[in-house]
Amino acid sequence: MNWIVVTLIAAAAQTGRNAAQRKLTAEIGTMGATAVRFLFGLPFAAVFLLALSATTPIPTPGLRALVSTLVGAASQIAATALMLAAMERRGFGVTTALIKTEPVTLAIFGALWLGDTLGPVHMAAIAIATFGVVLMSGTNWRSGGWGAVGLGIAAGALFGLSAIGFRGAILALPYGLSFLRASTILALSLLMQSAIMLAWFLLRDRATLRGIIRHWRGSLGAGFLGAFASFFWFHGFALTAAANVRTLALVEVVMAQLVSGRIFREGASQRQLLGMALIVAGVALLIAVSASG
C-alpha cells in the first residue's frame, strides 16, 4: 500500500473524527474534546500494535525516538486545542484555511530537522495547492477576527511541528516494517498525550474529566476514529516526507465541499472555483512528480 492510498484513507477517517470532536466541544469544552482523541484513542492504538506485532517484535524506541515523539505529542495537543478554540470563536473559515497552510511549514521544518529536502517541482506543487485552499475558503479574513487568524497560524505551525516530530521518531526506530513503526510511535505518542492530559485535569480541571467520563459513548467513537486516522497518517509519514502527505490531504477540502452539496445548492464564486482547480492541480502535480521519482 503506497503513501497515496494511505493518506487518502487517513483524510477520510479524520473527517469523521473532526465531526465527533466538534460535537463534544459543546458538551465538555475545548480541553475535554481535545483530550478525548488521546484518552479514548490509546486503547485502540494498543490493540492495533498488539495485532501487528503478533509475528514481529515491537521495535524499542531509543532516546532520539522518545524525544521526537514527545515533541510531536506536545505540539499536537497544543495545536488541537488552538484549532477547537478558533472554531468556538466562529473563525472557522479563516482558521481552517490557515491550518491547511501546514504543508508549507512542514516543508521548512522537514528540511531543517530531518533533511527531507524537496525539489523545486515538489515545492511548486505544495505552494499551488496551499494557495488554492486559501482562495477556496471564500472567507472575508477580517470578518473572522484577527484573534481567529492568529489562532489558525499558530495551530497550523504546531500541527506541522507535530508531524515532523512523529516522522522523526518513526525513522529513528532501529528496525521494523513501516506499518509496525507507525503503530509503535502512535501508541507511544498517545500514551504520552494521555498522561499529560490526565495530569492537567487532575491538577487543574477535574470537572472536565468528570464530563468526559459522563460522555464516554461519544468519546469512544471519537477515540476510535482518531486512532484509526492517526495510524494511517503515521504510516504515510513512514513512507514519504510529511509535506507530501499533508499536501495530498488537501483534497479533503474539495471532497468535503462536494459531499456537502454546498457548491451545487448554493453556487460557488469564481474565487472558490479557482481555488478548487488549484488544489486539484497542485495535488496532481505532486502525485506525478512523486510517481516519476
Distance CA 30, CA 13 (A): 21
* Stretch 209-234: mean pLDDT: 89
CA 210 vs. chain centroid, Å, equals 27
* pLDDT (tens digit per residue) in 148-175: 667 777 888 898 899 999 999 999 999 9
Task: Give the amino acid at 278.
Answer: L
Q: Provide the pLDDT for residue 241.
A: 85
CB 173 within 8 A of CB 83: no
Distance CA 103, CA 123 (A): 10
Tell me which H or E stretch contains 2.
none
Distance CA 249, CA 80 (A): 17
Output DSSP code: residue 54. Answer: S
Q: Give the contacts of 215 (CB within 8 A, at least 6 positions apart).
A: 24, 27, 28
Task: Give the amino acid at 245.
Answer: V
Task: Give the amino acid at 112.
Answer: L
104-113 contacts at long range (C-beta below 8 A, 24 or more positions apart): 104/130, 105/156, 105/157, 105/160, 105/161, 106/160, 106/163, 106/164, 106/241, 106/242, 106/243, 106/246, 107/241, 107/243, 109/160, 109/161, 109/164, 110/164, 110/167, 110/241, 110/242, 110/243, 113/164, 113/168
Give the model's confidence band at 114: pLDDT under 50 very low, under 70 low, under 90 confident, else very high: confident
Distance CA 215, CA 198 (A): 16
Q: Provide the pLDDT for residue 6.
A: 92
Give the model's confidence band at 143: pLDDT under 50 very low, under 70 low, under 90 confident, else very high: low
Instruction: List helix spans (H) across 40-119.
Output: 42-52, 63-88, 92-99, 102-113
Distance CA 148, CA 112 (A): 28
* pLDDT (tens digit per residue) in 224-282: 988 999 999 999 999 988 888 888 887 777 766 665 555 445 455 777 778 778 888 88
Alpha-carbon torsion, ordered 144, 145, 148, 152, to 10 deg: 70
Q: Provide the pLDDT for residue 263.
A: 46
Distance CA 231, CA 223 (A): 12
Distance CA 192, CA 184 (A): 13
Cell numbers for 37 = 482523541
Q: Give the contacts of 47 (CB within 8 A, at least 6 positions apart).
A: none
* pLDDT (tens digit per residue) in 40-90: 999 999 999 999 988 889 999 999 999 999 999 999 888 877 877 776 665
Output DSSP code: residue 143. Answer: T
Q: Provide the pLDDT for residue 240.
A: 87
Give the model's confidence band at 122: pLDDT under 50 very low, under 70 low, under 90 confident, else very high: confident
Q: Provide the pLDDT for residue 23.
A: 73
